[in-house]
Structure 1
């Protein structure tokens, strides 16, 4: 290794210059956090009609869809075991799309000792009114030609050993960073923006929503599936009814000052719903207090559906199995790598092995958006704890114990580089400020502070990138090529940053430290204890798949 010059300069081309003349640190950045996006409220629905956060639905806003039929479609394949009845002609029923159409750099989790990796599937419910059937079921004829919104978004994470599954919903009105995306059908390009998450579907299709999730969570997502109003009813009818429960009589209908409502009308107690009534259950928001309550009702429905299918002797009923297969393939649009019956069947068989008592359904912890009381943002600490558990394949429950096939944590799977590091004074390092979050402004001068710490440790060519702040959950050290891997690891070690946070990236041209929201203060990188199995934040509002006693509380104005 040549050490006669700063790494990345002279004999080591491609490193970004140590300083950007004339620029200051990112404390005064004029970025997307300076105000709400102009499209944040356009056509996306509103808050609840009287939930705990006081989010009121505004007259004239689109009535939103919140249901989980995309999940039903996946899990039907898993629990009914219908793959052997599929015929090649069913492939023609399935619509396909590009897996990702957005700017995202998430990477797959390293295999565990048994060579297994987790499986992540994004399920999206579209409110499209693009057909007569969808208009009839969802209303809103005036919105027929509008771009669809992704009003239901859930991530299913199946552990590497396929022994547990975790489901996380994000409420549709949650404000997030949406990356630049390109519509795969039209070629239209969309600039990166900060907006509520359901608008991502109209900015490049499901592939843009997938990229948005990957950037938010750091979790690599293998596949996506979408379904619309008509698909929900097809699937609900094919299932033959699912038991739900309300604690009081419920009627989700318009009230003075609160228009809309799903139309759901049920008596208190347990009863089966199917077809359009199932769609009403999955769309009910006002009567269940808020979007957060609606997500919980959807989770209860999904769990009940899984239990129903597992309890039925469907394997000997070829006609019914064929009906389920037909409904599933006609209702789904999937990412292209799932575009055959065989691929869907193989996916279903992986999901089938998870027992109901090890399926944990949750909602991402949120707080009221400080910019708009009708919107939400991620609760930084609790949400990041949840994403860490998904990234490191840590079960949401504590029933698994310790097994030899458990996926290693990111720290355990990190390997040292064979590239020797240069002397600190020969390494060029650029430090960026990534401390901005959805609720907090960037910490002024943070990049300068860390670059000065590096300089004091002998990295005299370290400098702050003062071009503006970023939003990064975890501090990372990036490098562009293998010959700089050793340098990057030495920089990380000097700052106390774990080796698992050292990553190769084509987005940088030299060793680059991005100081994240996890290091907003102090000179020493904060040491964190990895969460243990079952250590979900209390705000996750979990529902377990085997819980047959779950029952929804009805908001008093909607009781009868």
Structure 2
């Protein structure tokens, strides 16, 4: 609701009840006025007449009633505007990205639509009395919060499907250089578990970490803490969850901690603190990976609950939910108003529940630490590519179209072969032998060492094709998920595209960058062998890896198994 919306309600009332002027005259919305004792309709109504019983009509009472009605309407509108401003003031906002990231937006589909990616972060902050009371661990009060829950929500360009991908909190990744937006403290890049990114520059650092890991451009972030979860659960009125056996997540000999969740077997509606206990439970399910599954069940159930309720026709419920949401969430600044959050919610609301797919990033045990995990190579890469190319995780609707042309083909699949020219969109400024090319080795990943001599091998392949000025860069290069060809200015775009064509790299991987001084090929983790860029078949809708633990949003039969030591 905006100020103009609220004012827009006034004219209809003024048309029905002409306003009373200070001089006793009346006027309608077209500017006509009537005066007592004059002709016309206004004159007749203004004469001093008595009815059949000799009573004088209570004209002045009617005038005061009209004035009072106008004041009530204006007062209500003013209160509505003030309430809207109150909700806006509840929202806490922060910088979208505070770290180094090279992710690019997905290209629009044929209809001009683009997907929306939102990073949802659950913080374990204990920096308030409420959070300490709910989360325990008083000795951690004042410590930087950790992002124990991290989910990427992908809303397809056509708004017909949505996908959610969780990354387990103990996933070892490369966290980039980040700057705290409040203290301006700079944190150097580090290889660590992903939940530490929140403490190294806030949610904007977590967003940059995700972008570098996935290559997916993330439009917004939202964070919520313990107290926020409780407030939201209460506002919704509870969410149905299910356990197959009696569960009690409590400290056991040799295993401290526990959320305190205690339920009998079957389906229960949880809200308030009990909802938080469900979302925090880990030991009773058996692992952090299974905690993600329980969280996905909760979110699916919450979405089904909201869709079944008449939230927008129940003013009390709507106000309660709006109050809880704005107090509970911290958001990136570009969605930092109630209207923008509402518009975003309306887009999400259009997605049918059977077109929502909850998943967990395919992962394997970290070879450096058995208590941590790392992305599962090709399976994780497949998930990320489906998000980048806006391919639906379910098989109902096919590709959403962002990565397709008007004929329904995937341009990035036609990458050509080494030595097979692809026509650049811009003519090269120089002959092949005069194009200066620097080749860098960006093949290192969070789990694998860089492939030795990649820059040298690819630069030699270019020399063999006539690019005599191609050379390998011996300096340390940040890792990249996908091979890219960069150029610094518009006049070198054609040269960069010509180099990409020679290597069989798709033109979609050619980008302008201020980080380079000339045409630069960065060999990524997707090209760890050979001198011709590998052809990649486009992903198909619904073809997600088996170890992504997918759950469909319409599946209300999901029920958690309880790890035996925590049954009672």
Q: Shorter-chain TM-score: what band? A: 0.7 to 0.9
- Picking from 516, 521, 524, the partner of 1:508 is 516
Question: How many Å apart are 1:188 and its aligned residue?
Answer: 0.8
- Picking from 166, 175, 182, the partner of 2:179 is 182
Question: How many Å apart are 1:299 and its aligned residue?
Answer: 0.3
Pairs aligned (count)? 478
- Picking from 275, 280, 290, the partner of 2:277 is 280
2:167 equivalent to 1:170 = yes
CA distance in 1, matches of 2:528, 2:296: 35
**Deviation readout 1:128-173 (Å, 9 max, x if unpaired):** 1000000000001110011111111111000001000000000111
Question: How many Å apart are 1:520 and its aligned residue?
Answer: 1.1
Question: How many Å apart are 1:413 and its aligned residue?
Answer: 12
SS of match in other structure, 1:519: coil
SS of match in other structure, 1:288: coil
- Picking from 109, 112, 122, the partner of 1:112 is 109
Is the contact made by 1:117 and 1:407 (CA closer than 8 Å) also made in structure 2?
Answer: no
Is the contact made by 1:101 and 1:204 (CA closer than 8 Å) also made in structure 2?
Answer: yes
- Picking from 448, 454, 461, the partner of 2:456 is 448
- Describe the shift of the 1:344–1:370 C-alpha distance in structure 2 as closer, same or farther (beyond 3 A): same
- Describe the shift of the 1:282–1:410 C-alpha distance in structure 2 as closer, same or farther (beyond 3 A): farther
Is the contact made by 1:111 and 1:407 (CA closer than 8 Å) also made in structure 2?
Answer: no
**Deviation readout 1:487-537 (Å, 9 max, x if unpaired):** 111111111111111111111111111111221112222111011111111
Question: How many Å apart are 1:371 and its aligned residue?
Answer: 1.1
Is the contact made by 1:86 and 1:341 (CA closer than 8 Å) also made in structure 2?
Answer: no
Question: How many Å apart are 1:407 and its aligned residue?
Answer: 5.8
Is the contact made by 1:303 and 1:546 (CA closer than 8 Å) also made in structure 2?
Answer: yes
SS of match in other structure, 1:345: helix
- Picking from 431, 441, 456, the partner of 2:439 is 431
SS of match in other structure, 2:373: strand
Which structure 2 residues correspond to residues 121-160 of structure 1 after superposition, within 5 A? 121-160=118-157
Is the contact made by 1:181 and 1:191 (CA closer than 8 Å) also made in structure 2?
Answer: yes
CA distance in 1, matches of 2:401, 2:479: 36
Question: How many Å apart are 1:417 and its aligned residue?
Answer: 3.0
Q: Which moved more, 1:436-445 or 1:201-210?
A: 436-445
Aligned position for 1:520: 528
Gaps of 5+ in 1: 1-82
Aligned position for 2:539: 531
Q: Which moved more, 1:475-484 or 1:290-299?
A: 475-484
- Describe the shift of the 1:198–1:533 C-alpha distance in structure 2 as closer, same or farther (beyond 3 A): same
Aligned position for 1:418: 426
Which structure 2 residues correspond to residues 446-525 of structure 1 after superposition, within 5 A? 446-525=454-533
Is the contact made by 2:439 and 2:470 (CA closer than 8 Å) also made in structure 1?
Answer: yes
Question: How many Å apart are 1:86 and its aligned residue?
Answer: 6.7
Higher relative contact order by CA 8 Å / sep ≥ 6: 1 or 2?
A: 1
SS of match in other structure, 1:517: coil
Compare CA radii of gyration and give the structure with the larger one. 2
Is the contact made by 1:251 and 1:559 (CA closer than 8 Å) also made in structure 2?
Answer: yes
CA distance in 1, matches of 2:270, 2:217: 35
- Picking from 95, 99, 115, the partner of 2:96 is 99
TM-score (norm 2): 0.81
TM-score (norm 1): 0.83
2:560 equivalent to 1:552 = yes
CA distance in 1, matches of 2:216, 2:446: 19
